[in-house]
C-alpha cells in the first residue's frame, strides 16, 4: 500500500497550493512519477518532440507579427522578415527547420514504440493519441506549407487539394470547400493561415496533454517490455522505477544538448538541407500561370506521396486480386454466418474499385497507410512486447518494413519513371502486408522468456 506524503507549503507556494494543485501536480507527473530505470537513448525523442513543439509555437508567434496572409503581400512579407526584421532570418529558419526536425523526432519516437511494443496493453490509448498527434502534425504542416506563397507552396497545395476531387459524389464540392474558391487564391491562403495558426495548434496541444496524461496514468514502457508496477516495494514504489526528476530530467538534458547542436548546425550552415527542408522553387513568388517542372511535397510526406503516385490502373488490378484473395481466405476460415462480414466487405471493395478511378484509390492507399497505424495495438498478437525477446525473423520483418518505408520516402522525392513506380508499388505492398499479416506472423516462432525484473547496467 502506497504511503501518502503530504507536503505542507508556506508562503507563495502554499497560497497557490490552497487554490491550485501546483505541488501535487509536480509530484504526480514529475518528481514522484516513477519511470523504468533502463531507459536508453531511444527515449530521448519524446521529450525532444515536446521541445520542438514549444519552438514551433514560440517562433510561429513571432513570425505572425510581420507575416501578411494576403496573396499579394505574403511572399514579400516573408522576404521582409528574412531581410529587414532584426533576427527575422533566424526566427524563420528556426521555424522551417523545426518543422522538419519535428517529423524526424516523431518518426524516431514512433519507431521506438514499434520496436519495444509501447502500443500494447495497457497503452493502447497512449498510442492512439500519439497517432492522432501524427495526423494532426501532417495537417499542420500541410496548411503551413502554403503560407510562404512560393511556387512550390502554391502548386503543392493545388495538387493536394485537387486529390479530394477524386472522391466519388462529394469530391468536387469538398475540394471547392477546402480551397474556398475554384483555384488556390487569397481566400485559400487566409483559411489555411487560420487553420495553421489557431485551429490545428489548439487541437495539437490538447492531444499532447491527453497523450501525457494517459501515459502517466498507465506508466512508461521500457526496452524489456516489463510492467514495473507489477513489482512494488512495501512503500508502494516500483522496485525497478526511479523518479523522473531529477534522474530523467538530467538524462533528457543531455539529449536536448546534442539535439540543439545538430539543430543549430542546420540553421546556421544548411537551412535548406539541399532542397529537402526548403525547396529552391519556394524562393520564387507563386505564379498561377507557370507550373514547376516537378511538383513534390516536403520530405516528410514523400513516402505517402510515393504510394499515391504508385497507384496506377495496373496496380489497382493487383490490389483487387489481393483483396479478393483475402476475402476468399476469410470465407474459408468462417465457421458461421456471423463471420461473413470480411468476405462480404472484400466483395464490395472489389466492386467499388472496378467502377472508380485509380486516382481515388491512390488517395485511399495514402490515407490507409496512416490510418493503419491506429490499429497496431490490436493487430499485434505476439506474446511478448519487446523486439528483444521475439524470434529473429520478426526482426527481419521489421527491418524490411523500415527499408520499404525509407525507399518510398526516397522515391517520392524523385520524378516518376516506370522502374521507380514498380519499386514503389512493391514497397507499398510490403508496407500494408506488414500490418495486415500481423495477426498471423506475430504469433509464429519461438519467443524468449522476458525476465521478471528489468535488466539494467549502470553507465
Three-state secondary structure string covering 32-81: CCEEECCCCHHHHHHHHHHHHHHHHHHHHHHHHCCCCCCCCCHHHHHHHH
Instruction: Give the model's pLDDT for residue 383.
Output: 94
From first CA to last CA, the distance across the chain in angstroms is 32
- CA dist., res. 149 & res. 188, Å (int): 11
Q: Please give the class, per CATH, of domain 299-441.
A: mainly alpha
Instruction: Give the model's pLDDT for residue 7.
Output: 58
Residues 24-47: pLDDT tens digits?
A: 888 888 888 999 998 999 999 999
Instruction: Give the model's pLDDT for residue 268.
Output: 96
Find the radius of gyration of the CA atoms of the chain.
25
Do 299-441 and 29-283 fall under one CATH topology? yes
- CA dist., res. 191 & res. 193, Å (int): 5
Instruction: Give the model's pLDDT for residue 340.
Output: 66
Instruction: Give the model's pLDDT for residue 338.
Output: 53
For residue 455, what are the contacts with CB-CB under 8 A and spacing of at least 6?
38, 224
- CA dist., res. 329 & res. 343, Å (int): 8
For residue 404, what are the contacts with CB-CB under 8 A and spacing of at least 6?
426, 427, 430, 431, 434
Instruction: Give the model's pLDDT for residue 326.
Output: 81
73 grid coordinates: 503581400
CA 46, 64, 258: angle at the middle one, nearest 5? 30
Instruction: Give the model's pLDDT for residue 42.
Output: 93
Instruction: Give the model's pLDDT for residue 160.
Output: 87
Would you list the domain boundaries of the chain? Answer: 29-283, 299-441
Instruction: Give the model's pLDDT for residue 163.
Output: 86
75 grid coordinates: 511572399
Q: Do residues 207 and 131 lie in contact, with contact meaning Cβ atoms separated by under 8 Å?
A: no
- CA dist., res. 297 & res. 316, Å (int): 23
- CA dist., res. 66 & res. 88, Å (int): 9
**Check whether domain 29-283 has CATH 1.10.10.10, yes or no:** no
Instruction: Give the model's pLDDT for residue 297.
Output: 87
Q: Do residues 30 and 245 lie in contact, with contact meaning Cβ atoms separated by under 8 Å?
A: yes
**How do beta strands 34-36 and 241-243 pair?**
antiparallel
Q: Do residues 231 and 452 lie in contact, with contact meaning Cβ atoms separated by under 8 Å?
A: yes
Instruction: Give the model's pLDDT for residue 6.
Output: 56
pLDDT in tens, the chain (459 residues): 444 445 567 788 888 988 898 888 888 888 889 999 989 999 999 999 999 999 999 999 999 999 999 999 999 999 999 999 999 999 999 999 999 999 999 999 999 999 999 999 999 999 999 999 999 999 999 999 999 999 999 998 888 888 888 888 888 899 999 898 888 899 999 999 999 999 999 999 999 999 999 999 999 999 999 898 888 888 888 888 999 999 899 999 999 999 999 999 999 999 999 888 998 889 999 998 888 888 888 999 999 999 999 999 998 888 888 888 888 877 777 665 556 677 777 788 888 888 788 888 999 999 999 999 999 999 999 999 999 999 999 999 999 999 999 999 999 999 889 999 999 999 999 999 999 999 999 999 999 998 888 877 655
Instruction: Give the model's pLDDT for residue 454.
Output: 84
135 grid coordinates: 495526423
Q: Do residues 412 and 309 lie in contact, with contact meaning Cβ atoms separated by under 8 Å?
A: yes
Instruction: Give the model's pLDDT for residue 2.
Output: 46
Q: What is the mean pLDDT of the chain?
A: 90
Instruction: Give the model's pLDDT for residue 3.
Output: 44
Instruction: Give the model's pLDDT for residue 29.
Output: 87
Residues 275-328: pLDDT tens digits?
A: 889 988 899 999 988 888 888 889 999 999 999 999 999 988 888 888 888 888
Amino acid at each position: 500500500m502506497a504511503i501518502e506524503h503530504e507536503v505542507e507549503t508556506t508562503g507563495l507556494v502554499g497560497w497557490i497550493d490552497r487554490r491550485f494543485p501546483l505541488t501535487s501536480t509536480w509530484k504526480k507527473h514529475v518528481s514522484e512519477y516513477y519511470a523504468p530505470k533502463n531507459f536508453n537513448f531511444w527515449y530521448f525523442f519524446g521529450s525532444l518532440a515536446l521541445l520542438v513543439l514549444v519552438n514551433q509555437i514560440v517562433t510561429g508567434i513571432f513570425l505572425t507579427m510581420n507575416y501578411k496572409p494576403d496573396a499579394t503581400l505574403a511572399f514579400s512579407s516573408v522576404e521582409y522578415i528574412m531581410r529587414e526584421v532584426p533576427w527575422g532570418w533566424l526566427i524563420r529558419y528556426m521555424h522551417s527547420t523545426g518543422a522538419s526536425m519535428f517529423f524526424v523526432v516523431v518518426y524516431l519516437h514512433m519507431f521506438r514504440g514499434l520496436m519495444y511494443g509501447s502500443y500494447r496493453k495497457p497503452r493502447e490509448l497512449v498510442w492512439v493519441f500519439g497517432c492522432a498527434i501524427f495526423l494532426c502534425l501532417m495537417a499542420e504542416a500541410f496548411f503551413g506549407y502554403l503560407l510562404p506563397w512560393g511556387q512550390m507552396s502554391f502548386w503543392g497545395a493545388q495538387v493536394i487539394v485537387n486529390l479530394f476531387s477524386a472522391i466519388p459524389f462529394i469530391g468536387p464540392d469538398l475540394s471547392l470547400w477546402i480551397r474556398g474558391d475554384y483555384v488556390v487564391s487569397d481566400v485559400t491562403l487566409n483559411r489555411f493561415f487560420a487553420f495553421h495558426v489557431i485551429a490545428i495548434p489548439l487541437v495539437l496541444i490538447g492531444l499532447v496533454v491527453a497523450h501525457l496524461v494517459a501515459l502517466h496514468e498507465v506508466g512508461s514502457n521500457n526496452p524489456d517490455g516489463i510492467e514495473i508496477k507489477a513489482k512494488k516495494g512495501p512503500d508502494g514504489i516500483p522496485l525497478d522505477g526511479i523518479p523522473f526528476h531529477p534522474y530523467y530530467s538530467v538524462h533528457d538534458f543531455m539529449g536536448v544538448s546534442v539535439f540543439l547542436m545538430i539543430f543549430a548546425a542546420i540553421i546556421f550552415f544548411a537551412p535548406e538541407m539541399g532542397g529537402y527542408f526548403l525547396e529552391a522553387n519556394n524562393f520564387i513568388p507563386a505564379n498561377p500561370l507557370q507550373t514547376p517542372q516537378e511538383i513534390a511535397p516536403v520530405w516528410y510526406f514523400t513516402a505517402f506521396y510515393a504510394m499515391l503516385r504508385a497507384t496506377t490502373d495496373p496496380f489497382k488490378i493487383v490490389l483487387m486480386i489481393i483483396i479478393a484473395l483475402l476475402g476468399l481466405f476469410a470465407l474459408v476460415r468462417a465457421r458461421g454466418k456471423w463471420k461473413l462480414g470480411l468476405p462480404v466487405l472484400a466483395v464490395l471493395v472489389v466492386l467499388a474499385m472496378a467502377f472508380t478511378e485509380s486516382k481515388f484509390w491512390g488517395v485511399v492507399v495514402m490515407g490507409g497507410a496512416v490510418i493503419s497505424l491506429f490499429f497496431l495495438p490490436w493487430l499485434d498478437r505476439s506474446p511478448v512486447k519487446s523486439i528483444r525477446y521475439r524470434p529473429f525473423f520478426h526482426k527481419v520483418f521489421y527491418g524490411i518494413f523500415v527499408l520499404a518505408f525509407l525507399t518510398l520516402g526516397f522515391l517520392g522525392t524523385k520524378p516518376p519513371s516506370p522502374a521507380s513506380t514498380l519499386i514503389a508499388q512493391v514497397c507499398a505492398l510490403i508496407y500494408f502486408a506488414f500490418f495486415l499479416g500481423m495477426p498471423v506472423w506475430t504469433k509464429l516462432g519461438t519467443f524468449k522468456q522476458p525476465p521478471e525484473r528489468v535488466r539494467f547496467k549502470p553507465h
